[in-house]
Structure formats: C-alpha cells, structure tokens
Amino acid sequence: MQGFVLFFLTLSRCCSLFGFTRLPFYPTRTVAATPAAVGLGYEDVRIRTQDGKTLAGWFLPAPADQNALPAAGKTLLFLHGNAGNISHCLDSLDNFHKLGFAVLIIDYRGFGQSTGTPSVMGTLFDAIAAWDWLAEHKNSRPESIVVFGRSIGGGVAAALAGKVNPGALIMESTFTCLHDVVKSLYPYLPARVLLPQDFDSIASLRGKTFPLLVVHSPDDEIVPYALGEALFAAYRGPKQFLRISGPHITGFQTDKLRYVRGLEDFLRSLPGAAPAEDEAASRQPLGDEDALEIAASQPQELPEDASLPPAAAIRPESLMGRAMGKMRAMLETLRPQSGRKA
C-alpha cells in the first residue's frame, strides 16, 4: 500500500512539474516563413480575444478564378496541431487555396507571435475570436465557413463547431478525447489526473447536424486510427470518412492524390457547392479502395487493443514526434516497476 501511495504522489508531482494541467503543447515562437514562400498572397492579421490576448494570423483571399472550384464562396478557419506554429502549415495552405477557399489561420496563444500561454480553455477562446473576426472583418456568414482542425486542432475545432454551427467541419488525424489517447499509450495511468482539462469531441458534437468529414490514416503512429473511427461512428449528422495513408501529421502529403480528391468530393457534396465538371477521363486511378468510405451510422465500440506503437516508431524529424517523445519519456518514469510490493 505504501508503494501505491508513493507512486501517485510521484505522479501528481510530475504532473505539476511538467505542466500537464495545460496539456502537452509545444509551441515554436520563430515564424520560419510566410505564405509568400509558396506564392500565396496574404494579409497579416492581429485578433484580440475576450480575455485580452492578441493572436497572430494570416488571411489568404480566395483565388480570383474560384467560381468552378469545389470551395467557391467558402472560407476555411484553420486550427493547427499542438506543436510548431502557422509557418509549418504552408503546404496545407497551398492545398486549400487551390481548392478555392479563402483561409484564416491563427496561432493559438503562446504560439508564434501570439501572446499568452496555451491551455484548453484558452484555445477555445482563440477559436471563438477567430470566428468572430471573420464575421466582423470579412462579413463571413456561418454557413459559408468550414472549420478545419488537425490533431489537437481537431478537438479545438469540434468545441468551436459545437457552439457556432458552421457550414461544415473537417477533423483530420484527431481523437475522441485526449484521455483516450493517453489510455491507449499507458492504460495503467489515470488519464484524468494527467490531463485535468480535455477536449471531448463526441460531447461537443452531440446533437449537431452540419456535414462532417473525418480524415485518418491507419498508419498514424500517434493518434490511433480506431479513435478516428469511433469519432465518426458517434456523429449522427451527415458525415463522410476519408481514409488516407501515411504518418500522423504528414499523411496529407504522403497520400496527396487521395487526400485532395476526398476533400473535393466532400466539398462538392455541401449545399450550394459549385457543380463538378466531368473529371472521369482526367482522374488518375487510386487503386482498389475508394478514397471515401461512408460508414454506417451506428456507434462503434473502441477496440480493447487500440494502442500506439513504441516511441521509436515516431518520426524524430516531426515537431509533433518530438513533442510526443517528451511526453512518453515523462510517462515512462511513472511506469510501475515489476516486483515492487504495494
């Protein structure tokens, strides 16, 4: 019993020391490049939050010839992951621009040139401020805004969408909740102690009916594919599931053809979308499996064996990989030792 108590005292101390009450955010302050590096025009913006923080971001206008593009007339609110900053999203900005979107991308508080310190509640304040900025400065209507979240940004996007009812929501390489990610990594640790604040995407989206696209890869080495499936199964509104291949953060690049085609098909399915041209002759084959998988609406139980591979499987050059590596190293120090008497 003494060992058991000591273990949890150590756990609580580590949670305090490593800042887990604020979640494992790993912001980068240096903005390495701008959209001009990939040939895109942009407006450098500053957005004030309701609690007094200043967010840095970019607004990219839609292409001049957008009328026939899948995202014509729509604006994308881009919410990135837990590491780096907006300057690490240039390839994605280029993809979304070519689809016809105008794009607003922000850095959360504490990331890039934004002030403050990141936290769960703080990222929601940040997303709401960005949403309000689009309405006030770009006259964007809710039905014309598509909210996009990647990785932890998916949790932020779901929390925002649950409050504002956008035209559509895209969640890429994300989870049901962070507690489920921790439990899949280390089932013996109390996830709610490690992460007293959480994104609960299923709860945020309960009762909503806007179109949802869930994008996930079975090769995801950080967020289990099963969590993407469970997130999709729990949603009761119109929905599509896009299965891609490749690692957690770079699957959209590894499987770009399938990824972009899946986005196009989803956007063409939205109310008021521009009609698609006949592309059957020009489209390259994807292989035996369809890009889009439309699953049954019944919820699916998360498999008991859903887990992540060893830390060695995480790409070391990935910002997210380095961040998760730090988290894993801390958690390994909390692993109960075999043979120790409780």
Q: How does residue 14 score in pLDDT terms, banded at 50, 70 and 90?
A: very low
pTM score, two decimals? 0.79
Residues 271, 272, 275: CA angle, nearest 5 degrees: 110
Q: 109 or 301, which is more confident?
A: 109
| Least confident among 52-61, 161-170, 286-295 | 286-295
Which domains does the chain carry?
Answer: 2-332 (3.40.50.1820)
* Cβ-based burial of 66 (10 A; exposed 0-12, middle 13-18, buried ≥19): buried
- pLDDT at position 324, please? 55
Average pLDDT over residues 88-107: 97
**pLDDT for the residue 102:** 98
Instruction: Count helices and strands (H / E) in the chain.
Output: 11, 11
Given a cut of 50, is residue 209 above it in pLDDT? yes
- Which CA distances in Å does 292 have to 63, 90, 209, 250? 26, 25, 20, 19
Over range 41-62, report the average pLDDT. 98
What is the average pLDDT score of the chain? 81
**Cα–Cα nearest to 103, from 52, 152, 138, 68:** 138
Quote the CA–CA distance of 55 and 116 in Å, as a whole number.
9
Amino acid at 229: E
Residues 114 and 25: beta-carbon distance below 8 Å: no
Pairing of strands 145-150, 168-172: parallel
- Is 278 a residue whose pLDDT tops 60? no
Q: Which residues contact 58 (CB under 8 A, 6 or more apart)?
A: 34, 35, 42, 43, 44, 45, 86, 93, 103, 104, 105
* pLDDT recorded at residue 170: 98
155 within 8 A of 175, measured Cβ to Cβ: yes
Phi-psi region of 93 (alpha: psi -120 to 50; beta: other; left: phi over 0): alpha
Please check the confidence at residue 231 and state whether its pLDDT lies above 80.
yes
**Cβ within 8 Å of residue 9, ≥6 positions away:** none
- pLDDT of 326-338, one tens digit each? 555 555 554 544 4
pLDDT band at residue 6, thresholds of 50, 70 and 90?
Answer: very low
